[in-house]
Structure 1
Amino acid sequence: MHIIVLGAGVTGITSAWYLRQAGHEVTVIDRQPAAGLETSFANGGQVSVSHAEPWANPGAPAKVLKWLMKEDAPLLFRLRADPAQWRWGLAFLRECAPGRTARNIRSMVSLGLYSRAKLRELRAATGLQYEQRTQGILHFYTSEAEYAAAQEPARIMREQGCELDMKTPEECVAIEPALAQCRDKIVGGSMTPSDESGDAHRFTQELARRCVEAGVQFRYETRILGCEREGDAVSQLITADAAGRVQRLRADAYVLCMGSFSRGFARELGVDLNIYPAKGYSVTLPVIAPEHSYQVSLTDDEYKLVFSRLGDRLRIAGTAELNGYDTSLNLARCEAIVRRTRELFPQMSDGRGAQFWTGLRPATPSNVPYIGRSRLRNLFLNTGHGTLGWTHGCGSGAAIADIVSGRQPELDFAFTGLEAGTPSLRPQPVL
């Protein structure tokens, strides 16, 4: 079949790769001049199966109220006269129920384990290099209450097969000596030795090159002006290239990987996706004091920040701001990341040379992405990954290739439009 993949971020490129490996003719469309230039460009860098507790959890409502309108809050709802934001927020509150949280954790751990395994297979098969590190991820806590609240999610993750061990402050420092600079603040931690980190942007571009070598066609600097539907199928796309030339493109199937912009595209076709952009921030610092800089990827629970070492660069990323599709940098939030970094690692950096970035993460209320078939028989979904697009990229790409090819994916996950336990695909409404 001829498949058009909409979007050249990490999920779009992994989808294209696995679809091509399955024998399909593949074309990728993206408005940017190259792959991985939007949400995949400067994220936190973690491939973190252990980062499976969703934003929507039993403790979230009280935190959201406390953080409301606080400029440097880890999760900021900037309330707008936007029905999509209010709808998303109400669904978010429903997902905070303990039973829903546990279900969502199980889904994300299952997908994360599968995806990490597929990433390792891909790396071994292709020799991809992207500043990867396989030293695990250490999650540290500076609040006794948060450390106590982490025990139940950790138990659920372990039940699902995630290797996650609770650690004392002394053990945290032994794993990552740079934490000695903030030992007095740490009350405990958890270590996932099988987790990884790496530069998602570099990975995406390197895999895109291999896609080209494998025969995938790319149409960069191409905008989608509209789409048409005939009955229960997408009939064609109307696009414009960099020179403004309008073209109509047809394919046997279409895979939607447009991140936060997936909702608008799908709505034109009568498909309802509850995705809202959660603007995330990152700071990239040069390594100027190697002896005081971290080597192991870290997660700071209290401030919801992740720390990754990318060669001679330090990447610190996190926070979420629900403020529509605005991509302007909020300096208060950038400065909060630098301030927290200097508070934890005062000898590591003076903040000079910092490069700030922001991107729109495609968030669902549950944090569980849409992967599978939509209500239209030839429109497939691989979107809504929120903060875990890099973690889940290879697994969701491999899974969507299976589904498009009529095969049952290899993991236990609530795929959209896929009847559990059978290889057949059954159109179902996307709720």
Structure 2
Amino acid sequence: MKPLEGLVILDLSRVLACPFATMLLAEMGAEVIKVEQPGSGDETRSFEPFAEGEGGSVSGYYMACNRTKRSITVNMRHEEGRKILRDLAAQADVLVENFPVGTLARRGLDWPSLEAVNPRLIYLSCTGFGQSGPYAKRKGYDTVFQAMGGMMGLTGERGGGPVKPGLPVADLSSGLWVAIAILSALQGRSRTGKGGHVDVSMFDAQVALLTIAAARHFALGEVPPRLGTEHPGRVPSASFRCSDDRYLHITASDQHWAPLCAALDLPDLAADATLSTNAGRVAQRERVMAAMSAAMETLPRGDAFARLDGVGVPAGPVLALDEVLTDEHVQARGLVESFEHPVLGSFPALRNPLRFEGWDNPELSRPPLLGEHTEAVLMQRLGLDAARIAALKEAGAL
């Protein structure tokens, strides 16, 4: 048995943050019913990159965040479509939506409307800036939240402009907040018997991640500068170029300093007692970094890593994506698996990283075809027969 078996989630969300969250919950056993627009579906079905198979092409973007779900098509602009969603919500444990503020209220699908038919419902709204405040009506995407939430301002090379991370960090981290919120609300419901509304703002989620950077500002009045791969409060902690033009990242604490100096043949640094503590090294950052950079530039990455790893200094090669996916530890941990897709055949994917003792582990299942489960869900959940479903399709509700 998986830990979330028996949980029913009605997923009205699209694109990335919420679909990522509901996929994680689906792989841990929840039944996720993904509601999509008839004809087009979640807009990410049209996003590149496209994987090509004998049966046609499928969006890799869509597949990355929609595995293990059931897809139904319902037209929310049609009254019969809205009735179907209200009936499904009456049976669900959780509803997830990420429409602009006020959209679902105009359609009678907001929290007050659905609480009336299901007081135990956990209703989660994920928007760019939340349900209240001066920015509530604004729209935005991942990079907007990175920019306004401080992430982008902290990221970049010394003296350079802001840089976005290589992944949509605001979307993905907001998805994790959504999953945490759902599980927290369910635990609360188990004690009170009542559902509730959860307001998740992607902007708030990014501000909440500032943690250590905000701590430096609160403690020192400092706005941390952009330092590339260097850490503002720890030396050494940075990526160093090696003689073969590859990079090795090193992060060392006080207990690692002496063995690091010995491994890199830095006797002058080792002999300086003022460098034995992190505070001393931070105060002499430029000197330490210059000496270490010069030493690393004489060694191939493999040799440098072997020396440091051999004496217990935390270090790791800066790997390209293809190197990560073929890494021996990634393979040993089974982080890359595959699913069978009716259009593509066997297709690789990243597995859910959680491992359980006492419950079955998450399993990798394929993403659904558009509307693949419409008839099955409406028959099983609402007791509709084939004739009624056909009539609803004819009327444009499905």
In the superposition, the TM-score normalised over structure 2's length comes to: 0.27
Judging by fraction of residues, say which structure has more helix.
2
With structure 1 as the length reference, what TM-score do the two structures score?
0.25
Say which one has the larger Rg. Answer: 2
Instruction: Choose between structure 1 and 2: higher strand proportion.
Output: 1
